[in-house]
């Protein structure tokens, strides 16, 4: 059966641990040592929305696995979508060329629609305001690497919790953790959807919506800052009301515990001051770097290039 | 002598058969087995018009042959053409980097101009409203695979026969077949150029221009539907008059013989209803998939990586 | 220590000779023979300005060295820069994916800012009106190949000497040569910055600013023509005043010595007439071709894939 990666909802706790250990094995490889894992396989990347980070991270991961890449960097302008082709048709055609398709698309649900019609694995690299499951995996993997565990932590999600798919995918993924306290800190116009908040609570998270980041900062193990995404707002006044409200600066860093870490899915446009970068608790560039190893582990899995272990066979809902 | 691929006119009947058999050999390879055919060669793709399908198909073919690819996906915006460079100069420069150049360009004749000045093979991946020779090869190869022969068939070309280079290149290529009946079914504003119709007749095809697709459907072995291409019309009223006139839907499928096949060069934007996709006679996604194997055979040939057989040496006019 | 390539100022005379000899060794390889030099390394190309030539030349070089490439062809539209990310942040992230980063950017100094924050080599592929060091290396390498030496030559730089980074980088690099006479021939509005002219003179070049190219043509060993770059002018009247003033045509070629060569960094838009192309002294397409070998030598060096020789260890200021 083909295993797509569409939503964080499909990952079990045991699958996560197996994936993280495998990513660690890839991280430990000498930098110039590629593997043979994906030898003879072609990955197609179809990006209908701007991205450097995610596309190049996937392509580096596939390259380090010994696989090949064909790429549509600017599919919105250069692909048949510009001629009115449906994402389903595009996917069906590209499935004839490639063994794995990675898609970013502005429309929520579009990647799942593509996956439904093809016989090769499809990975969702972000579908509109909906999900960004590989980013959430990287975020939780980074927490696991930095803190040595994913349970018993106090985590704040900060910024755009309404449109931001990375923060929302991470929140959903945190329901796989135990004994977690989750603070939601957002400007009024980018508060998290109440239905999602309720879902998180019902899934066992202790969730608190707060206004004052500084007040809770000393309690945090993880501060997850996000960008207010101008491209998601229809109303410029709403964007203006949200932008620049919550900044991570030196003053805030002084409130954080010495063992805390600051994450950000990047890019940032001012919501973390550059002076913070040299603080060892600023983990966001390490987080970006972790993306390659995590995606190597994920690609290896969906290409079915390793015998499934019992843990994975049971742990991955699909 | 360098062998370019510029027009279907250059292919002899014997060359076609040799190419199709070679494509079949590539099709039969296990999916993850690349060859060494193009090891040490670099293919440059220069696309001045939008395309996912054609570019990625060429790049997958080159990859499966063990070759390397350098790519200009959005050359209209990112290449020196934006600074006013001629296609000849661009080709001359890129010929210093690559062993094979694949070009799509909006201007008829531009690819031949590029080919005239370089010492590496150039493949025309579509030049304006002129030709799309590799698509025609894929189309005829698909007919050959599906029907086991290319002779004695009744074929309808439907839709945009005026601007559509794929349908027109296929029509020209059909002059290499024997005992073929060709129906042309087009809205008034996208009828095939009478000079081309006359050429087809003089070349031995039985050509009939008809208005009612349903009436001839029962006779068909191949129904080749095409998209009305908005980007080729200068007059929006003409586009409106052509668009949506001839649709392949369930009712039409009921008129088709059980052994008939439906082809389309893709992308489609409504001229074949998605409900038709699950019909086994809907061969257009198989057709797209055939593109990789056919292009592998073609690239192998123009790179001169195999000793020429007698058939090929005699059969390829250049 | 990481060795970036940011400016021609960093190259010593002895380093140039070592680089040119190494490029010659790569040039002498059979066309289809790739090396293992960069095996296991990934090069990222980030192009924020249009380019076919430079990007594909770098990618061909890396491919021929056995390395892998990940590419952002249209980073201005598709990268996080479109979301407001700084070049420093982008570079830090991409340094987690790649072993070498090649950047073209419209802003002078931007590539150096990127290089300052990362731990992998960064190569400047053109930063606004500032520098284009690899082009200058290719230009001087071509002079060395064509004339057998870089000293005792009479060279004219023609065209846009004010905004043109290629001509200005070459002029700076010529300060590493001995006994050189340099003519500067430019329309009034694209004269070279007087401070740079003074710097060249203080560095030992004999510099003359002249108006009449034909008058000095018989003395020249090298005529280096450049394009008047429309995209650098804020004032269209200035562009109009500069464009088309100095053309290399058959009449001018008759003034040139039989051993002289004509160079151009390309693209051209009329400043060298196409009729000149067939003249053996027209060396600009050979110059473009030399780019691959020269960049192979440079990439090999910055990746530190060869033991440093004494000459190189001493000769490369960084």
Confidence category of residue A88, pLDDT binned at 50, 70, 90? very high
Q: Where are the domains of chain C?
A: 8-132+291-313, 133-287
pLDDT tens digits along C190-207:
999 999 999 999 999 999
- The answer to whether C99 contacts chain A (CB < 8 Å) is yes
Per residue in A134-148, pLDDT (tens digit) is 999 999 999 999 999
DSSP class of residue A256 equals S
Chains in contact with A, where contact means 3 or more Cβ–Cβ distances below 8 Å, are: B, C
Instruction: Say if residues C266 and C284 touch (Cβ distance below 8 Å).
Output: yes
pLDDT at B250 over 60: yes
CATH code of the domain made up of A8-131+290-315: 3.40.50.1370
Mean pLDDT within A258-267: 97
The Cα B282–Cα B284 span in angstroms is: 6
Please give the sequence-ordered ranges of beta strands (E in DSSP) within chain B, or none if there are none: 42-47, 68-72, 100-105, 122-127, 154-158, 181-185, 206-210, 222-225, 261-263
Same fold, A8-131+290-315 and A133-287: yes
Axis crossing angle, helix C284-302 with helix C133-147, rounded to the nearest 10: 120
Residue B14 has pLDDT above 70, yes or no: yes
Q: Which of C34, C50, C62, C77 to mutate to test the interface with B (most CBs of B within 10 A)?
A: C50
- What does the DSSP assignment read for A212-246? -HHHHGGG-SEEEE----GGG-S-HHHHHHHTTSS
Any catalytic annotation for residue B317? no
Q: Search chain A and give the residue with CA nearest B34.
A: A40
Cα separation, C290 vs A74, whole angstroms: 30
CATH code, residues B8-132+290-313: 3.40.50.1370
Integer-rounded Cα Rg, in Å, for chain A is: 19
Q: Concatenated DSSP letters for B183-207? A: EEE--GGGPPPHHHHHHHHHTT-EE
Task: Find the closest chain A residue to C45 by CA distance.
Answer: A56
Q: In what order do the strands lie in the sheet with A206-210?
A: A206-210, A181-185, A154-158, A222-225, A261-263
What was the pLDDT predicted at C317?
42
Checking if the pLDDT of B83 tops 80, the result is: no
pLDDT at B239: 81
CATH number of C8-132+291-313: 3.40.50.1370
CA distances in angstroms from A272 to A227, A251, A268, C67, listed in the order given: 9, 12, 7, 35
**Does residue B15 surpass a pLDDT of 80?**
yes
Residue C38 forms contact with A (CB below 8 Å): no
User: For residue A266, is it left (φ>0), alpha (ψ between -120 and 50) or beta?
Assistant: left
Would you say residue B156 has pLDDT above 70? yes
Task: For residue B235, give how far its alpha carbon lies from the nearest alpha carbon of chain A (Å).
Answer: 17
Between A50 and B208, where is the model more confident? B208
Q: CB atoms < 10 A from the CB of A135, how many?
A: 26
Q: What is the pLDDT of residues C70-80, one digit of tens each?
A: 999 988 887 67
**Does the structure show a pLDDT above 70 at A267?**
yes
Chain C residues within an 8 Å CB radius of B40: 31-34
- Kindly determine whether residue B73 and residue A68, on different chains, have CB atoms separated by under 8 Å: no
Question: C33 to chain B, minimum CA–CA distance in Å?
Answer: 6
d(CA A182, CA A209): 9
Is C81 in the B-facing interface, judged by CB distances under 8 Å? no
Q: Which two tokens stand for residue A49?
A: 């929305």
- Is B165 part of any known ligand binding site? yes
Dig out the tokens for B269 from the structure: 């934007």
Helix/strand/coil percentages in chain B, nearest 5: 45, 15, 40
Q: Which of B50, B57, B64 sits opposite A83 (nearest CB)?
A: B50
- Residue B312: pLDDT band (50, 70, 90) is very low
Q: Cβ separation of B80 and C53 shorter than 8 Å? A: yes
According to the annotation, is B187 in a ligand binding site? Answer: no
Q: Is B227 annotated as a binding residue?
A: yes
Residue list, annotated binding site of A: 53-54, 83, 104, 132, 135, 165, 227, 266-267
**pLDDT score for C235:** 84
Cα→Cα distances C86→A67, B146, C83, Å:
31, 54, 9
Query: How many CB atoms are closer than 10 A to CB C211?
Result: 12
In this prediction, residues B244-265 reach a mean pLDDT of 96
User: Is residue A311's pLDDT more than 70?
Assistant: no
Query: In CATH, what class is C133-287?
Result: alpha beta
Put simply, the answer to whether B42 touches C60 (Cβ < 8 Å) is: yes
**What's the confidence (pLDDT) of residue A307?**
47
> Which stretch of DSSP H or E encloses residue B277?
none
Residues of C with catalytic function = 53-54, 83, 104, 132
Mean residue pLDDT across chain C: 92
Q: Is the pLDDT of residue B317 over 50?
A: no
| Structure confidence at residue C232 (pLDDT) | 76
Which tens digits make up the pLDDT trace of A27-53? Answer: 999 988 999 999 999 999 999 998 888
Quick check: A36 contacting B, CB < 8 Å?
A: no
Tell me the pLDDT tens digit for each residue of C255-308: 999 999 999 999 999 999 999 999 999 999 999 999 999 999 999 999 987 544
A231 vs A228: CA distance, rounded Å: 9
Task: List, for residues A3-27, the tens digit of each pLDDT value.
Answer: 999 999 999 999 999 999 999 999 9
* Mean pLDDT value of segment C98-122: 97
What are the tokens at B143?
């007919």
Numbered residues of the known binding site of A for carbamoyl phosphate: 53-54, 104, 132, 135, 266-267
């Amino acid at each position: 059966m083909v295993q797509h990666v569409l939503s964080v909802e499909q990952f079990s706790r045991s699958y996560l641990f197996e994936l993280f250990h495998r990513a660690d094995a890839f991280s430990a490889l000498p930098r110039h040592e590629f593997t043979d894992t994906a030898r003879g396989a072609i990955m197609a990347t179809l990006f209908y929305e701007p991205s450097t980070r995610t596309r190049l991270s996937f392509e580096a991961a596939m390259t380090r696995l010994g696989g090949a890449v064909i790429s549509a960097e600017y599919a919105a302008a250069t692909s048949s979508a510009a001629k009115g082709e449906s994402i389903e048709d595009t996917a069906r055609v590209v499935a004839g060329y490639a063994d794995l398709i990675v898609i970013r698309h502005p429309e929520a649900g579009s990647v799942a629609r593509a996956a439904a019609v093809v016989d090769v694995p499809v990975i969702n690299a972000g579908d509109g305001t909906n999900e960004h499951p590989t980013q959430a995996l990287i975020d939780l993997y980074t927490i696991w690497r930095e803190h040595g565990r994913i349970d018993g932590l106090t985590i704040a999600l900060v910024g755009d919790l309404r449109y931001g798919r990375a923060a929302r995918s991470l929140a959903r993924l945190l329901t796989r953790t135990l004994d977690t306290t989750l603070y939601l800190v957002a400007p009024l116009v980018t508060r998290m959807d109440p239905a999602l908040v309720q879902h998180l609570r019902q899934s066992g998270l202790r969730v608190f919506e707060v206004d004052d980041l500084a007040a809770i900062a000393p309690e945090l193990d993880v501060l997850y800052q996000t960008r207010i995404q101008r491209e998601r707002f229809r109303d410029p006044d709403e964007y203006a009301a949200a932008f620049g409200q919550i900044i991570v600066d030196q003053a805030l860093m002084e409130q954080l515990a010495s063992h805390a870490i600051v994450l950000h899915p990047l890019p940032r446009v001012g919501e973390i001051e550059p002076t913070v970068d040299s603080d060892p608790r600023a983990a966001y560039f390490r987080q970006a770097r972790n993306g390659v190893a995590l995606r190597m582990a994920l690609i290896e899995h969906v290409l079915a290039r390793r015998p499934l272990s019992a843990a994975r066979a049971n742990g991955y809902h699909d």
